[in-house]
Amino acid sequence: MTDVKPAATAGDDRAFREAMRTLAGGVVILTTWIEERPWGMTISACCSVSAEPPRVLVSVGHLTCVHAAIKAGNRFGVNVLGSDQKHIAEFGATPGQAKFLDTYLGESCLTEDTATPRVGDALAHLDCVVADQLEVSDHTLLVGDVERVTVAGDDREPLLYFDRSYRRVGGNL
């Protein structure tokens, strides 16, 4: 039998963080343009909103460079990372570091065929224009209309984030 911990109060940050670490999520690089260069930030708060019309939702912190750039340009890219791209996720997640993708990825950062920067080996890339936004606490929830989709078409597994570490899919149940 599993040990059940007592319920926490609404202001208990530690308990909330413990609960959220039990939720697995896909890892994406959110991309935009900063100073006319491709910039990417790792996020795990991304989900599909609807298929018709195609829309996604992402959550972006107010203090990030990406937040200001997306607000100014009204566009963002979603790059779904494969399990072999942990190094890219770590690069995009490092706090206080410039996240110019052209410097880190070199030619693997594609910018000519899409409106937003694309990680060349990503499992999928979605070019989005901001359709709606909602300010929530210190984040903005952005709903993006997907204008273009690029799918790698291979059988690599997605990169997941679970229990404070990167993971891969272990197989079907």
pLDDT in tens, the chain (173 residues): 556 565 556 667 888 888 888 888 899 999 999 999 999 999 989 999 999 999 999 999 999 989 999 999 999 999 999 999 999 999 999 988 899 999 999 888 888 878 999 998 999 999 999 999 999 999 999 999 999 999 998 889 999 998 888 998 876 54
In a domain, 31, yes or no: yes
- Residue 110, CA distances (Å) to 62, 102, 107, 125, 155 in order: 26, 8, 7, 11, 21
Helix or strand holding residue 52 (H, E): none
**What's the confidence (pLDDT) of residue 7?**
58
**Taking the model in full, what pTM does it have?**
0.88
Distance of CA 152 to the CA centre of its chain: 17
In a domain, 4, yes or no: no
Give the whole-angstrom CA distance, residue 122 versus residue 118. Answer: 8
The whole domain housing 84 covers 25-163
Query: Is residue 115 within 8 Å of 147, Cβ to Cβ?
Result: yes
In a domain, 1, yes or no: no
- Residue 116's CATH number: 2.30.110.10
**What's the confidence (pLDDT) of residue 172?**
58
**What's the confidence (pLDDT) of residue 20?**
81
**What's the confidence (pLDDT) of residue 173?**
47
In a domain, 88, yes or no: yes
Annotate 74-88 with b (16+ C-beta within 10 A) or e (fewer): ebbbbbbbbbebbeb
Specify the number of domains making up the chain: 1
In a domain, 171, yes or no: no
In a domain, 61, yes or no: yes
Give the whole-angstrom CA distance, residue 63 versus residue 155. Answer: 36
In a domain, 138, yes or no: yes
